[in-house]
Structure 1
Amino acid sequence: MSASTTLWTDRPLLGFDTETTGTNVAADRIVTVALVHSVGPGRENETVATWLIDPEMDIPEPAQRVHGISTEHARAHGMKAAEALDEVAEMIADALRQDIPLVAFNISFDLAILENELTRLGLPTLTQRLGHDIAPVLDGLVLDRGVDRYRKGKRTLTDVLAHYGLEQDGRLHTADVDVSATLDVLRALTAKFPTLGTSSLEDLHREQMGWHRRWAEGMNEWLTKKGKTPDVNTVWPL
């Protein structure tokens, strides 16, 4: 296989994850970010950058239980949000400009809260820095739903790791561990479904948009039948 047709799984990837004060992308704040630059399978091929941020609000108890970071710890040791998130956004934008895909598990959440935080802080958003939509993006959750549509059961990161027989080597819901686990999932997916690895990043990005829309429309139909508000966003990744 020539260099020009090297599988994207063998080229650089940038994994991304946030831990936050909650799940409301419009009102909650980012507490930690991890970016993991990967140049091949194995932790020895990963370079990890992490940020601890003072969210300048109390971290609710449920969120503390998830990621283990207290309000006091974040205040004492965290960076100012503007400084940290400007660094994060520029590193992501720089990778995307080089066609290095941004990888996450349920990336819509992480991108939405990052863009909202950047706007709140008066900083250029990722979209503004790039001058176009955020791409190429690879989402372990969307890919798994797309290629194995009818599999029963939950699809949390823990569940998907278990399905592919992957061991996590650290505490999940620590941003850098979640990123490394997501990179493992991506490689397991391409091993089981080889056409993923041979697709171009552009085609795969477009395919994920369709897979997400199909899933979201199905979820909205189900919610409507249950008498609930059909509020699942059909647009991916943002």
Structure 2
Amino acid sequence: MTPTSLVALVTGGSRGLGKNMALALARKGIDVLLTYNSQQAEAQAVVAEIEQLGRKAAALQLNVGESQNFAGFFAQVQAVLRNTFQTDKLNFLINNAGIGIHAPFASTTEAQFDQLVNIHLKGPFFLTQQALPLLADGGRIINISTGLARFALPGYAAYAAMKGAVEVLTRYQAKELGMRGITVNTVAPGAIETDFGGGAVRDNANINQFLASQTALGRVGRPDDIGGVVAFLCSEEAGWVNAQRLEASGGMFL
């Protein structure tokens, strides 16, 4: 089947940064298949927004913490690629879906730790592995990390440790997939005003003010600060960027 367009798979695309990434990709002329965990209505609203931009879009349910369901998910992906996008290949994979758990190191439970492993490390590891047969040669993989893998704020030991592992994984993926012309990079956002982790950065004025004071540009981030970075890494201009960690934090804790 001859591809008629470029298609990106964005996990967690129904809200927050994932939604912004999906829309930024669409504005670059890329069709988008996004996933949602529970927010189907929100996901369909994003699909409608993308279609209003003149691109094709679709949404599928996926819990990235349940890797046992990935084979069935990719059977659905194949059908959607064929029926909605008239292609049999993905060009871009953005591993964005995730949750935030704020817990001091001393009181982090094993259940919290395991949940973070499943969603932030095991999920992207095996989701990407199973996506490889559908990913076109010369494609792009973008893993989403966090500024917390570079600087440390109390309460994020487990979460940041998973993201640090993702950054190492990115380099290994780049090394092993380079023979197919596939680049793999990490985008590490700083503090962003979204509902992530309960919306503390957005809704707590004291937290917002503190983080803004520690950022060279004098404010915390907004979703629009991140989507364009991901879209850039999917562009021809970024073809020689590989195995890199690109922090988009406005210069936090310099």
> TM class by shorter-chain length?
0.3 to 0.5
TM-score (norm 2): 0.32
TM-score (norm 1): 0.33
